[in-house]
Amino acid sequence: MTTIAVIGLGNMGGPMAQNLVKAGHAVTGFDLSPAAIEEARAGGVAIARSVAEAVKGAEAIVTMLPAGKHVRAVWAEIVGIAGKGTLLIDSSTIDVESARAVHAQAEAAGLVPVDAPVSGGVGGAKAATLTFMCGGADAAFNRAKPLLEAMGRKIVHCGGAGAGQAAKICNNMILGISMIAVGEAFVLAEKLGLSHQALFDVASTSSGQCWSLTTYCPVPGPVPTSPANNGYKPGFATALMLKDLKLSQDAAAAAGATTPMGALATQLYGLHAAWGEGGADFSGIIELIRGKSD
């Protein structure tokens, strides 16, 4: 049993904290939102009144916050109060620069940092089937792994500080671009009088095969579990895809990488969100493409 503090008990952090409780750990959480607090409390998480109270005596701390600025603020508070040797895991999706900055700050204070963003969404957080992409020293990763296994199914050590965030944004850039490619193909098929099922049957077993097609098909029918069958709700929100694509473009600019398709995808999801679809699943981008083709 490990004494763990979880800061950020939202859609992802709440169920993750509850899975740590189910695995037999002593978990204390803190969030600014009364609704998030109540839900976590109902799931067996002890609730603290502040970050400082939550992390007091914790052997490990997990943060699951909206963006880099929140992580920078919360980690700045933690490094001043956590005991030396405390394991510090950030599972938020944030910019690589912030991830590296908080790693350095934590290490300088004698703490043991790991960036461990996730894929798998709210469903994966609830079912403890998340994939964790980790960055940090070998010893830090080895300490974090058993705790992450209580919340996920696949735990990958990607490299040093910030490598987990780098893997996350590269993966999601592939996903955002490939969903647009699949959407364009279905819209072209519609114009050519080719049925959705016929295109699916061919492309899903041919060289056009990809996750956006075979697991998350953006038209209703071929893959009954994809959000397209339910009006693009729920799923992975367009706003979150846009956030990750913006992070990829910021990282590309800082690192001097050329990512023209990533840049275009960022613009298209931005347009989709601006037209009121930020809360809808990102595969609904096909509706924007179809609209442009009419």
- Residues in contact with ligand NAD by the rule CB under 6 A: 7-13, 30-33, 36, 64-66, 70, 74, 92-93, 118, 121-122, 236, 240, 243
Q: Residues 35, 23: contact at Cβ < 8 Å?
A: no
Report, in Å, the least distance between residue 110 CB and ligand NAD: 23
Nearer to ligand NAD (CB atom), residue 189 or residue 265:
265
Buried b (16+ CB within 10 A) or exposed e, 164-179: bbbbbbbbbbbbbbbb
DSSP string covering 217-266? -SSSSSSTTSGGGGTT-SSSBHHHHHHHHHHHHHHHHHHT---HHHHHHH
Nearer to ligand NAD (CB atom), residue 65 or residue 203:
65
Matching residue, tokens 């999601």: 172
Which of these, 115, 117, 221, 108, lies nearest to 171 by C-alpha position?
A: 117
Residue nearest to ligand NAD (CB): 10
Report, in Å, the least distance between residue 193 CB and ligand NAD: 37
Q: Does the annotation mark 126 as catalytic?
A: no
Report, in Å, the least distance between residue 31 CB and ligand NAD: 4
Nearer to ligand NAD (CB atom), residue 12 or residue 144:
12
CA quadruple 216, 220, 225, 226: dihedral sign: positive
Which DSSP helix (H) or strand (E) runs through 147? helix 138-149
d(CA 263, CA 281): 20
Nearer to ligand NAD (CB atom), residue 64 or residue 180:
64
Nearer to ligand NAD (CB atom), residue 51 or residue 203:
51
The dihedrals phi and psi of 225, each to the nearest 5 degrees, come to -85, -5
Report, in Å, the least distance between residue 12 CB and ligand NAD: 3
Check 168, 191, 243, 246 and give the catalytic one: 168
Q: Residues 29, 9: contact at Cβ < 8 Å?
A: yes
Report, in Å, the least distance between residue 215 CB and ligand NAD: 16
Residues annotated as part of the active site: 168
